[in-house]
Amino acid sequence: MTIQTVGDEKAIEQIEKQLHKLVDVLRVSELGQGAHVEREIMLVKVQASGYGREEVKRNTEIFRGQIIDVTPSIYTVQLAGTSDKLDAFLASLRDVARIVEVARSGVVGLSRGDKIMR
Q: Give pLDDT, residue 15.
A: 83
Please state whether beta strands 98-104 and 36-47 pair in parallel, antiparallel, or not at all (unpaired). antiparallel
**67-97 per-position pLDDT tens digit:** 999 999 999 999 999 999 999 999 999 999 9
Residue 115 has pLDDT above 80, yes or no: no
> Residue 22: is its pLDDT beyond 90?
no
Which residues of the chain does CATH 3.30.70.1150 include? 36-108
Rg of the chain taking only CA atoms, in angstroms: 18
CATH 3.40.50.720 fits 36-108, yes or no: no
Nearest by Cα to 31 from 20, 16, 14, 48: 16
- Least Cα distance to 32 among 116, 113, 112, 87 occurs for 112
